[in-house]
Amino acid sequence: MTQMESARKGILTDEMKTVAAKEHISEDKLMQLIAEGKVIIPCNKLHKCISPNGVGSALTTKINVNLGTSRDMASLDEEMKKVQKAVDLGAEAIMDLSSYGDTRKFRKMLTSECPAMIGTVPIYDAVVYYHKALMKITSDEWIDIVRMHAEDGVDFMTIHCGINRETAVKFKRNKRQMNIVSRGGSIIFAWMEMTGNENPFYERFDEILDICREYDVTLSLGDACRPGSIFDGTDPAQIEELITLGELTKRAWEKDVQVMIEGPGHMPMNQIAANMEIQKTLCHGAPFYVLGPIVTDIAPGYDHITSAIGGAIAAQNGAAFLCYVTPAEHLRLPDADDVKEGIIAARIAAHAADIAKGIPHAADWDMKMDKARHDLDWEKMFETAIDPEKARAYRNSSKPQKEDTCSMCGNFCAVKNMNRILDGENISIFDE
């Protein structure tokens, strides 16, 4: 049984128990949310080493990290080290976007060693795996890759089933600034254009559901028409595809298959809340997994910041799952530093949103920091910081005159001066 089927039958799984405890939520409430499709626990039956996590807007916001081998970074061991580092830094999910070498071997390493949820995009892998011209890949071959990934223990898969012949027409009729920027979306669109066939991920959706049901793979319904420019945000192609994804969500739920929906993309800030609301109605409350939204297009090198702004607003308004974006986005494959910067920025966005949404106990972390700040307890501040290493290094690089203050304010330290004056001491400032 999938987690959804169990929930619908009132059977509490070990995964549900774990998630309920992590989230400070009752098991009954969690089971109800899973039964309704509002929370998912992506957890392939064959991924034995997983530490399960729930995804849904009633829970803490989760983050995903994209990694994987490529022509430039082909070492499986090196890539596994990055995965471990990403998990240590707080990523709840790893998407394996490998595009080079023995992708199956790496995928199996992930599902046998990594405690995070593992996601993949079968469409990328098919291109690498079959090693032939795109238009020669057959409908059966696309579906076979989905089955292979399920057998390999993958917890969730991005399936680009929303860009069918009908939505492709809408896309072509309504010109965009940046066309399709989803890699998988562009591949299947090109395949459809070249072969004249319907998208097999759409046409054979029932077969995909049967595979997902067997292994309890969560479907991550991909947004081929994710806007790649702020001028394409919330346009006909994007919304038309979302309607299709909503229809497919219902079909998945009929077979007890867990679903999340992938979303924008590039988008002006003022459209984000509305997009979260539209997704909620069109996709019946299925968790929303967003990339960005990137709120301005002018900042390559800083897209971890443009997407932290958008991601925080999205999560506050209902997105459940944020895909990290690194400073390297739009420029190159991220290196280890970029991965770290991207993870921290995504976690900040997720956490800020969790506070704003009033997720139980989310702000406890901040209270711990504020108590340390009030007491000028630097060691405790470092321990509590999202990146203790960086916080410590900053302060150590610029020692203040007085041990209890920092070099920013020195004698002017308001925290210190207020603590003293409220204790009835006199303060002098200039010569202390």
Tokens of 313: 């607003």
Q: Which is nearer to a copy of itself, 216 or 338 (CB)?
A: 338
**Residue of 228, 263, 292, 342 that binds a copy of itself (CB under 8 A):** 228
* 284 touches a copy of itself (CB under 8 A): no
**Residue of 14, 48, 71, 77 that binds a copy of itself (CB under 8 A):** 71
**Residue of 331, 360, 361, 379 that binds a copy of itself (CB under 8 A):** 331
Distance CA 173, CA 176 (A): 9
Binding mask 2-41 for a copy of itself (x = CB under 8 A): ----------------------------------------
* 423 touches a copy of itself (CB under 8 A): no
- The answer to whether 3 and 40 have CB atoms below 8 angstroms apart is yes
Report the candidate in 139, 147, 151, 191 with the shortest Cα–Cα distance to residue 168: 191
Choose the stretch contacting a copy of itself; rule: CB under 8 A; options: 74-82, 160-168, 211-219, 329-337: 329-337
* 374 touches a copy of itself (CB under 8 A): yes
* 325 touches a copy of itself (CB under 8 A): no
Distance CA 283, CA 260 (A): 9
Residue 389 CB coordination number (10 Å): 10
**Residue of 72, 77, 88, 403 that binds a copy of itself (CB under 8 A):** 72
* 336 touches a copy of itself (CB under 8 A): no
Q: Return the residue matching tokens 């001028």.
A: 231
* 90 touches a copy of itself (CB under 8 A): no
CA angle 113–114–119, rounded 5-degree value: 125
**Residue of 348, 376, 380, 383 that binds a copy of itself (CB under 8 A):** 348
Report the candidate in 430, 334, 409 with the shortest Cα–Cα distance to residue 70: 334
* 70 touches a copy of itself (CB under 8 A): yes
**In the bound complex, what is the minimum distance in angstroms from residue 133's beta carbon to a copy of itself?**
4
Binding mask 389-408 for a copy of itself (x = CB under 8 A): -xx--xx-xx-xx----xxx
**Residue of 270, 277, 337, 379 that binds a copy of itself (CB under 8 A):** 270
Distance CA 69, CA 80 (A): 10
Residue 178 CB coordination number (10 Å): 15
**Residue of 308, 322, 325, 359 that binds a copy of itself (CB under 8 A):** 308
Distance CA 127, CA 131 (A): 6
**In the bound complex, what is the minimum distance in angstroms from residue 134's beta carbon to a copy of itself?**
5
* 245 touches a copy of itself (CB under 8 A): no
* 360 touches a copy of itself (CB under 8 A): no
**Residue of 14, 77, 403, 422 that binds a copy of itself (CB under 8 A):** 422
Sequence letter at residue 295: V
Distance CA 181, CA 171 (A): 13
**In the bound complex, what is the minimum distance in angstroms from residue 241's beta carbon to a copy of itself?**
15
* 138 touches a copy of itself (CB under 8 A): no
End-to-end CA distance of the chain: 69
Strand-pairing partners, residue 388, are: none
Tokens of 250: 């219902």
Report the candidate in 208, 180, 174 with the shortest Cα–Cα distance to residue 193: 180
* 426 touches a copy of itself (CB under 8 A): yes
**In the bound complex, what is the minimum distance in angstroms from residue 17's beta carbon to a copy of itself?**
28
Q: Which is nearer to a copy of itself, 1 or 73 (CB)?
A: 73
Choose the stretch contacting a copy of itself; rule: CB under 8 A; options: 84-92, 138-146, 249-257, 295-303: 295-303
Binding residues among 179-218 for a copy of itself as defined by CB under 8 A? 179-183, 185-187, 189-190, 193-194
Distance CA 339, CA 336 (A): 5
Q: Return the residue matching tokens 């890699």.
A: 183
Tokens of 175: 């010109």
**Residue of 83, 150, 230, 325 that binds a copy of itself (CB under 8 A):** 230
**In the bound complex, what is the minimum distance in angstroms from residue 275's beta carbon to a copy of itself?**
13
- The answer to whether 79 and 73 have CB atoms below 8 angstroms apart is yes
Residue 281 CB coordination number (10 Å): 10
- The answer to whether 228 and 181 have CB atoms below 8 angstroms apart is yes
